[in-house]
Structure 1
């Protein structure tokens, strides 16, 4: 296939994506964004009356983009630069095992990892990830891929470091890594709903049970649709709650443009408590 034909294919693909996104954007504009705020405040009161514990949510709107990215095997080509590691690559996932496990003396392993991750011989493109405390626990430290002032919330763009604890002797033994290439914005920045609107929407969809506690929220990017092997991401309110008798968090995703529920199989729906 010659270069000119490749260019034409990419141009056609981009036009198709842009047309679809324009349609989606116009269909999904939510009346909630025009609310004066009193309706959502009343819903938050109803939630508390139903014994749902939560901090006072922010009422300010944010902004975000439609993003496009893809997964390919070029990521694996840089694995030869890694030192002290045995690696294998399968289904767009790099799996690494350290030949000599790395001692982690601190109770906050991210402090050491924040320095190590800057080295190209330690991980590939480490500067493009950031530590995520909400997804991490005592045995797994999670770094997520950055995305235009925010972050991805998807197993398509993360590093999961594995720590073994042998009677207090904590050692970093390996990791798995995924990476989205060619992350680009598809349209100009648009307004997102507030944290208060997102929580109100979740409650109205009956997606949060009574007598539960909202543990944390995060405005990140999750996958929305896939077009011609391109993954389209949108700003999403990630809401984690825990019921009274549960030891794990339940994760729900709210489209931050429209306020609708998002179901994305690249997002973990349950996270064990530390």
Structure 2
């Protein structure tokens, strides 16, 4: 028996199998590359439409700018004490007021009402500018996306902002409860938190666009088919608590109406990564 010939037959057969497998592997890689390239070329608007995902308006493609910010939670008890001393009003913020270290809750009886939903921002601004009604009132602006005037328990929300980008975080919030009386929405109570000494931690940086954030959520399967993108907004939110100081980052907030619930997803506007379930890091005092 010609063993050398048999060895050559096995060698050629083995080589043929390997070449065949290699060609299949290369073909699969090329197909995968082509699919990836194809997917990249398909506009996010087309992909949303294919999944019956609706939205209003167009997705902004401009690159806004923002910062890493630091701020200190305001001691509201001290803030009230300082206000009383500065204005020589020992009874200021006494009636109907409950104060914790970083939060104040107050009942309102001045009769301010919202008579026209389209003028909510103006009515709220006028209320916030009244002396003795809300501490640091001039620093807060109306957040329409977080406000609900047509529900059983209507509420409007305001927050501080930095260079026209608002905060969307519980550490800088004015939650105002309303009471529906004779077709008027009367301000009856508010709960407030506040940030002091807001400062830039780094130079201004270009952020990812609104459209980038939508695409990131889509490719990460955070926007269910047949849902609706209810609203989207760029805002600062808490990322780190470092020995009594808060660190905030700019984030794209995207609200998605699934039909049964309204879920709010978050995308880090600096890194373009999903931020929704990222916990706030804490570094305690030594």
Compute the TM-score of the two structures, normalised by the length of structure 2.
0.72
Does the 8 Å CA contact 2:112/2:127 hold for their aligned counterparts?
no
Name the structure 2 match of 1:31.
none
Structure 1 unpaired stretches of 5+:
1-37, 267-274
1:88 positional shift:
1.3
Structure 2: 5+ residue stretches without partners? 1-38, 281-286
Greater strand content: 1
Matched, 1:127 2:132: no
> Quick check: 1:110–1:141 contact (8 Å CA) kept in 2?
no
Deviation at 1:160, TM superposition (A): 1.2
1:60 is displaced (CA, Å) by: 1.5
Cα deviations across residues 31-89 of structure 1 (Å, max 9, x unaligned)? xxxxxxx9376333222211111243111111100000111413343564646842111
Write 1 or 2 for the structure with the bigger share of helix.
2
Q: Distance in 2 between matches of 1:43 and 1:125?
A: 42
Write the distance in 2 (CA, Å) between the matches of 1:133 and 1:202: 23
1:197 aligned to 201, 212, 220, which one?
Answer: 212
Aligned to 1:117, which of 128, 131, 148?
A: 128
Q: What residue is the counterpart of 2:66 in the other structure?
A: 64
Which protein has greater RCO, CA pairs closer than 8 Å, 6+ apart? 1
Q: Paired residues, what number?
A: 227
User: 1:156: how far off?
Assistant: 0.8
Correspondence 1:254 to 2:267: yes
Say if 1:192 and 1:183 are closer, same or farther in 2 by CA, change over 3 A. Answer: same
TM-score, structure 1 length as denominator? 0.75
1:98 corresponds to: 108
CA distance in 2, matches of 1:191, 1:212: 30
Partner of 2:242: 227
Aligned CA distance change for structure 1 residues 193 and 149 (closer, same or farther; 3 Å): same
